[in-house]
């Protein structure tokens, strides 16, 4: 799904059981693989989810991060793009404003962090009846 970006929307209505995974990406040649691996892992959790990929501008005209992200055809993956690089924090906030899940997490594109940490965080939320879990 591709959304045109004109202005920041109001915060989306949330589903308390839905997991929203925000993936900020900038100049990431591995975005297709990263999203594929993340999707495969989230499918294995048997927990409802959405992936929100936010491509944070283009480094140059050769940067094809957004086009690569669009190659995955799945209703659970929503891709957003804006042309000017605004930084990782902006991309995360941008994704959070569009998230429909009551549980929100983010994982960087580029495979620096492993998706398995998401499942562990969900388990800790249940075990400790936690509202917030922070991992590093």
Give the start-to-end residue ranges of the domains of the chain.
15-127
Whether the Cβ atoms of residue 73 and residue 32 lie closer than 8 Å to each other: no
Q: How far is Cα 61 from Cα 74, in angstroms, rounded to an integer?
A: 26
pLDDT at 81: 95
Q: How far is Cα 14 from Cα 98, in angstroms, rounded to an integer?
A: 10
pLDDT, one tens digit for every residue, the chain (136 residues): 555 454 555 555 678 999 999 999 999 999 999 999 999 999 999 899 999 999 999 988 889 999 999 998 899 999 999 999 999 999 999 999 999 999 999 999 987 778 888 999 999 999 999 998 887 7
Report which secondary-structure segment, H or E, holds 124. Answer: helix 116-127
Integer-rounded Cα radius of gyration of the chain:
14
* Nearest Cα to Cα of residue 100 among 3, 39, 15, 22: 15
Q: How far is Cα 36 from Cα 23, in angstroms, rounded to an integer?
A: 12
Whether the Cβ atoms of residue 28 and residue 54 lie closer than 8 Å to each other: no
pLDDT at 75: 95
pLDDT at 129: 93
Domain 15-127 top-level CATH class: alpha beta
């Amino acid at each position: 799904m591709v959304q045109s970006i004109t202005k920041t929307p109001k915060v989306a209505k949330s589903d308390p059981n839905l997991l929203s995974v925000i993936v900020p990406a900038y100049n990431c040649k591995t975005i297709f693989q990263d999203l594929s691996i993340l999707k495969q892992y989230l499918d294995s959790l048997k927990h409802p989810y959405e992936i929100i990929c936010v491509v944070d501008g283009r480094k140059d005209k050769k940067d094809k991060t957004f086009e690569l992200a669009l190659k995955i055809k799945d209703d659970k993956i929503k891709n957003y793009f804006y042309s000017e690089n605004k930084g990782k924090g902006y991309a995360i906030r941008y994704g959070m404003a569009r998230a429909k899940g009551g549980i929100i997490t983010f994982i960087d594109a580029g495979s620096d962090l492993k998706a398995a940490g998401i499942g562990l965080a969900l388990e800790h939320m249940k075990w400790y009846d936690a509202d917030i879990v922070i991992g590093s």
